[in-house]
Amino acid sequence: MAQPARDFTEKLEMVKSLLTASTMSVAFTGAGVSTLSGIPDFRSSKGVYSSKWQGYDVEEVLSISFFRRRPDLFYRWGNEFMYQLEQSTPSIIHTLLAVLEEKGYLHGLFTQNIDMLHTKAGSKKCWEIHGSAKHHSCTNCNAHYPYEQIAPIVRKGEVPHCTKCQAVIRPDIVFYGESLDASVLTRAVEMFTASKLCIVLGSSLVVQPAASLPSYALSHGAKLVIVNAQSTTYDSAAAVRFTDLAEVGEALLPWAEGLRKRTALVPSP
C-alpha cells in the first residue's frame, strides 16, 4: 500500500540526505528484491515455502542431507525454481543499487539471493551470502562448472555429473545444514561495523546469521533504512521505514542517475 504523498516525500528526502552524507554505506538485500523480477520469494503467503513440492517441504529439499540422498529430486525442483534464471531481468532495485555503487554512494552490497541479478545489473562490490547458482562444483574432485553448462542438463531432466570423475555436481549455494562462507561473513561484519548507513531491502531479517548483520551497523552508530513489505525485528530502530520496494525504486532511480560521481571512495575494509 502506497504511503501518503507528503509522508513518502519527507522520508524520501531523508534517505537522499543520508546517502549523500554517508561516507560508508552498505546494503543488504533479500528475496523481496527479486520478486520484482518475477522470482518467487520464500516466506510470504505466496512464497516457495507456502506449499509443499511433490509432498516435500521445500526447506527439506534445500537441505544438504536431502541433496546427498536424492540429488535427482533436488534437480527436479531446481528445474522449476533455479535453472530458468537467464529468463529473469534485474528489477528497478537491482538497477538502483548498481547506479549508487557506480556513482560512489554505495560501498558494499550483501545479498541473501542466489539468482545473480545484482551482478547482471552491474553491481561489482557484491557478496552473495548464501552462495550463487552461477557456480557449481563436483562433490568428489571439486572441479568447477558454470551455470551456463549445468542449466541445459538440468532442463533435460538429468542430474549433472562431473566430466572428470563422474560424481554428482552440486550448485555452490549454502544448503540448510551448511555453514556460510567464513570469508564472506567476516567481510560483512567488518563492513557493517564500519558503515555510517545501512539499507535493508526486501528482507524480513529472519534467517540467521545473515539477518543479524544490521545490528553491527546500529551498535556502532549507523543509521538504518528498511524497505520491506513485512515487518522486521529492526523496524523500531530504523531512521526511515518504507513498505513498497517498487515505489521507492521508481522515486530514487532518476535521482541517483543524476548524482555527480564521487571521485574519492572510502576504501572497503
Q: Which CATH number belongs to the domain containing residue 71 in this structure?
A: 3.30.1600.10
The answer to whether the beta carbons of residues 107 and 266 sit under 8 Å apart is yes
- Of 140, 173, 206, at which residue does a domain stop? 173
Same-domain status, 140 and 21: no
| 224, part of any domain | yes
Same-domain status, 35 and 83: no
pLDDT of residue 41: 60
Residue 52 has pLDDT above 90, yes or no: no
Confidence of residue 42 (pLDDT cuts 50, 70, 90): low
pLDDT of residue 166: 97
243: domain range? 1-39+90-130+179-262
Residue 17 has pLDDT above 80, yes or no: yes
**Average pLDDT, rounded, for the chain:** 91
Active centre residues (catalytic): 130
Set of cell numbers at residue 153: 542438463
pLDDT of residue 236: 95
Lowest mean pLDDT among 5-9, 162-166, 214-218, 222-226: 5-9
The number of folded domains in the chain is 2
Same-domain status, 238 and 224: yes
CA angle 111, 116, 119 (to 5 degrees): 85
d(Cα 121, Cα 69) in Å, to the nearest integer? Answer: 36
Same-domain status, 47 and 161: yes
Set of cell numbers at residue 261: 560521481
Residue 21 has pLDDT above 80, yes or no: yes
Set of cell numbers at residue 79: 528445474
Residues 34-52, mean pLDDT to the nearest whole number: 67
Residues 6 or more apart whose Cβ sits within 8 Å of residue 66: 56, 60, 73, 74
Residues 6 or more apart whose Cβ sits within 8 Å of residue 33: 91, 93, 94, 111, 113, 117, 201, 202, 245
Same-domain status, 152 and 100: no
pTM higher than 0.95, yes or no? no
Same-domain status, 59 and 82: yes
Residue 137 has pLDDT above 90, yes or no: yes
Of 140, 119, 114, whose CA–CA distance to 129 is shortest? 114
Higher pLDDT pick, 151 / 56: 151
Residues 6 or more apart whose Cβ sits within 8 Å of residue 69: none
| 267, part of any domain | no
pLDDT of residue 1: 47
Of 158, 163, 171, whose CA–CA distance to 67 is shortest? 171
pLDDT of residue 4: 64
- CATH code of residue 120: 3.40.50.1220
> For residue range 157-205, what is the model confidence (pLDDT) as tens digits?
999 999 999 999 999 999 999 999 999 999 999 999 999 999 999 999 8
> For residue range 67-122, what is the model confidence (pLDDT) as tens digits?
999 999 999 999 988 898 888 899 999 999 999 999 999 999 999 999 999 999 99
Please state, for a pLDDT cut of 70, what percent of the chain lies above it.
92
| 203, part of any domain | yes
Higher pLDDT pick, 71 / 38: 71
- Of 121, 149, 173, at which residue does a domain stop? 173
